[in-house]
């Protein structure tokens, strides 16, 4: 066994590697994930490298080079890994080193040595250099040589992209213990908190990142997570929000400086405008006003302006609305209704923006908890969710052999069959022709599953018929009753306003059950008044249902068996 894959020699961290920002975290002895600040004091480290006379700058220091040294500054490269040049969209690199084709991969031409001529550096090599810097920062902080990691990737990262990232990490001296998908890492970050209730739930992770939006609908059943639907969109991201502010400030600048040029039409001015607009956007997440201030924005003219949050919300509203549409679309894609969603984790750096979280919350019923800094006092920093989840996962698996980790994450094991409908019971006694549906196993629960439930029997007891049935979730929509038209009277004006109000009243949407197939049924005889029945069900992976019904405290039981 090589030294790197010997679990005893591992020092493992979590890494979130985004197109815009990366983070590193480790889990302390008490199982608490801690996000590590690099030598610049940053926990959100720009995924940027820049070269100045052969010296490599990284993170925030590299980002400032976008003004003076854009050609030798490499940004937004993660998604290019494992892709050929024809498949990539180079647009986000317009104001930095341009991607070029290089054999079957993508590269950047930069002057990364003291020599005059440019080198062609592949995206794999850039990634290795970036990961080396992250590894170094983590090692310096921990005082030990970090050599392994769990790294987060989007749910649509292809095998070729993962292979390329795995190789690049290896070159950086990092053994990738596992790739974990970003939304699952976010769910894990919440579920691993001390005191978290691990109830079965459906969670939407809505990630508004720097260059893309990623939405995932995740079912959590008995501690197993399954991704039910995903959506990815490059047209809705931090870039559009920054652009809205850039356009606003450029117009303000032009209004006040009629003879000056448009800062959007000069590379250096554009870079300054972009950096300051992003800073203003971040400031507006905390404060209700922010100042924009750039020396020599264009044609040597300094520019200072201020903006309040309401104005920014207005400028950003169409992009935020587009993000909300993606979230509701993902729920539809999972064939669910907003009422089915227990929790929404609003993730990604732009989720600090209060309007993003409130707009998402407005599209869902009050029963859905929205986890974001502005909607929940106990929310985790949305920029840190991925990396915290990765660090927690690293601490859980670092002691295992790589082979065992690979086996446990093999698709055969993780993509288990699921129940498409809920399964529960109807209790029927006396003349009652139907009963109330009690869910025992939720839809989307991975199989096999075994559950026990105690059911109250109706009314007077006696002989009770129990049916094990499929429950088909149905949304009952009640339209508000139209108010009867009143005779015209002297209070005409008031009547009108009443009518307007009733028109505005929203329809009522409730989750109800329709009864599907009967899977098994049994009569439990002579149940005591107020008695309870215990139902044990066991559903195998090939959908054989085995049920036992017995009165709590009574003798014997009735068995039912059905093959699916
Ligand atoms: P991607 O891969 O989509 O580029 P990422 O995972 O690299 O994204 P994130 O850290 O999730 O990046 O998000 C970065 C985005 O979040 C940037 O647009 C940044 O401006 C924005 N952002 C970061 N912090 C804040 C904040 N406090 N308020 C508003 N926006 C913020």
pLDDT of residue 489: 54
The CA distance from 36 to 138, in Å, is 7
pLDDT of residue 498: 46
pLDDT of residue 502: 46
Kindly report the protein residue whose alpha carbon is nearest to atom 22 of ligand 1. Answer: 349
Give yes or no for residue 211 CB within 6 A of ligand 1: yes
CA of 171 to the centre of ligand 1 (A): 27
CA of 91 to the centre of ligand 1 (A): 18
pLDDT of residue 347: 98
Does position 459 have pLDDT exceeding 70, yes or no? no
Kindly report the protein residue whose alpha carbon is nearest to atom 27 of ligand 1. Answer: 282
Q: Which CATH superfamily is domain 238-314 in?
A: ATPase, substrate binding domain, subdomain 4 (3.90.640.10)
pLDDT of residue 135: 98
CA of 76 to the centre of ligand 1 (A): 12
**Does 504 sit behind a cis peptide bond, omega within 30 degrees of 0 on the bond before it?**
no
- Domain map of the chain by residue range? 3-182+387-414, 197-234+323-378, 238-314, 422-483+494-562
Of 166-180, 196-210, 386-400, 502-516, least confident by mean pLDDT is 502-516
pLDDT of residue 1: 42
Angle, helix 267-286 to helix 309-333, in steps of 10 degrees: 80
Averaged pLDDT for residues 27-45: 92
pLDDT tens digit string along 55-79?
999 999 999 999 999 999 999 999 9
CATH match of 3-182+387-414 with 3.20.20.70: no
CA of 357 to the centre of ligand 1 (A): 14
Q: Give the architecture (CATH level 2) of 197-234+323-378.
A: 2-Layer Sandwich (3.30)
Does position 303 have pLDDT exceeding 60, yes or no? yes
Does position 482 have pLDDT exceeding 80, yes or no? no
Averaged pLDDT for residues 4-13: 84
Give yes or no for residue 19 CB within 6 A of ligand 1: yes
pLDDT of residue 413: 47
Atom of ligand 1 nearest to the CA of 213: 3
> Which among 395, 343, 404 has a CA at the least distance from the CA of 368?
343
> Which among 184, 229, 211, 241 has a CA at the least distance from the CA of 80?
211
Averaged pLDDT for residues 340-357: 97
Atom of ligand 1 nearest to the CA of 44: 10
Kindly report the protein residue whose alpha carbon is nearest to atom 10 of ligand 1. Answer: 349
The residues that bridge with 467 in the sheet, in sequence order, are: 426, 521
CATH class for domain 422-483+494-562?
A: mainly beta
pLDDT of residue 407: 65
Q: Specify the pTM.
A: 0.86
pLDDT tens digit string along 72-111?
999 999 999 999 999 999 999 999 999 999 998 999 999 9
Does position 154 have pLDDT exceeding 60, yes or no? yes
CA of 239 to the centre of ligand 1 (A): 9
CA of 350 to the centre of ligand 1 (A): 5
Kindly report the protein residue whose alpha carbon is nearest to atom 23 of ligand 1. Answer: 349
Does position 158 have pLDDT exceeding 90, yes or no? yes
The CA distance from 552 to 564, in Å, is 28
> Rounded mean pLDDT of the chain?
90
Give yes or no for residue 27 CB within 6 A of ligand 1: no
**Higher-pLDDT residue of 526, 94:** 94
Q: Answer whether 238-314 and 422-483+494-562 agree in fold.
A: no
Residue among 213, 348, 374, 379 to mutate when testing ligand 1 (max atoms within 8 A of CB): 348
| Chain center to CA of 516 | 33
Atom of ligand 1 nearest to the CA of 76: 4
Does position 352 have pLDDT exceeding 70, yes or no? yes
């Amino acid at each position: 066994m090589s030294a790197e894959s010997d679990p005893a020699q591992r020092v493992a961290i979590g890494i979130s590697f985004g197109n815009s920002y990366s983070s590193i975290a480790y889990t302390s002895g008490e199982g608490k994930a801690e996000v590590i600040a690099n030598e610049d004091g940053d926990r959100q480290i720009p995924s940027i490298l820049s070269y100045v006379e052969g010296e490599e700058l990284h993170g925030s220091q590299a980002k400032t080079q976008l003004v003076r040294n854009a050609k030798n500054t490499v940004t937004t490269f993660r998604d290019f890994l494992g892709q050929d040049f024809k498949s990539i969209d180079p647009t986000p690199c317009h104001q930095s080193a341009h991607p070029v084709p290089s054999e079957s991969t993508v590269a950047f031409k930069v002057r990364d040595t003291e020599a005059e001529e440019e080198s062609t550096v592949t995206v794999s090599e850039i990634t290795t250099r970036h990961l080396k810097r992250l590894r170094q920062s983590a090692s310096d902080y921990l005082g030990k040589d970090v050599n392994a990691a769990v790294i987060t990737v989007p749910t649509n990262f292809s095998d070729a992209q993962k292979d390329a990232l795995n190789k690049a990490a290896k070159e950086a001296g990092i053994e990738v213990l596992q790739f974990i998908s970003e939304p699952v890492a976010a769910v894990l970050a919440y579920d691993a908190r001390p005191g978290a209730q691990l109830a079965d739930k459906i969670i939407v992770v809505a990630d508004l990142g720097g260059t893309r939006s990623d939405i995932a609908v995740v079912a959590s059943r008995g501690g197993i997570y399954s991704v039910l639907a995903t959506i990815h969109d490059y047209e809705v991201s931090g870039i559009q929000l920054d652009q809205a502010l850039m356009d606003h400030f450029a117009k303000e600048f032009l209004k006040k400086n009629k003879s000056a040029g448009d800062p959007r039409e000069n590379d250096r001015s554009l870079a300054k405008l972009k950096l300051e607009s992003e800073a203003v956007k971040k400031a507006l997440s905390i404060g209700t006003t922010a100042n924009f201030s750039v020396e020599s924005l264009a044609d040597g003219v300094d520019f200072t302006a201020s903006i309040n949050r309401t104005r920014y919300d207005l400028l950003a509203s169409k992009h935020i609305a587009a993000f909300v549409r993606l979230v509701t679309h993902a729920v539809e894609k999972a064939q669910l209704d907003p009422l089915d969603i227990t929790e929404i984790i609003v993730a990604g750096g732009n989720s600090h923006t209060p309007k993003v979280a409130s707009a998402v919350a407005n599209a869902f019923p009050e029963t859905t908890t929205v986890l974001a800094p502005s909607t929940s006092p106990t929310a985790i920093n949305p920029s840190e969710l991925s990396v915290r989840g990765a660090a927690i996962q690293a601490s859980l698996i670092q002691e295992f052999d790589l082979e065992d980790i690979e086996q446990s994450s093999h698709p055969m094991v993780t993509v288990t069959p699921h129940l498409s409908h809920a399964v529960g019971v109807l209790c029927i006694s006396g003349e009652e022709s139907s009963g109330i549906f009690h869910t025992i196993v939720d839809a989307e629960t991975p199989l096999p599953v075994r559950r026990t439930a105690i059911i109250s029997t109706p009314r007077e007891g006696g002989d009770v018929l129990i049916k094990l049935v499929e429950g088909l979730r149905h949304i009952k929509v009640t339209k508000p009753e139209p108010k009867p038209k009143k005779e015209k009277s002297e209070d005409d004006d008031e009547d009108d306003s009443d009518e307007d109000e009733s028109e505005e009243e929203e329809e009522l949407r409730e989750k109800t059950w329709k009864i599907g197939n009967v899977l098994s049924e049994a009569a439990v005889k002579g149940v005591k008044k107020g008695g309870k029945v215990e139902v044990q069900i066991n559903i195998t992976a090939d959908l054989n249902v085995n049920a036992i019904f017995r009165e709590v405290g009574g003798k014997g039981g009735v068995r039912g068996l059905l093959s699916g």
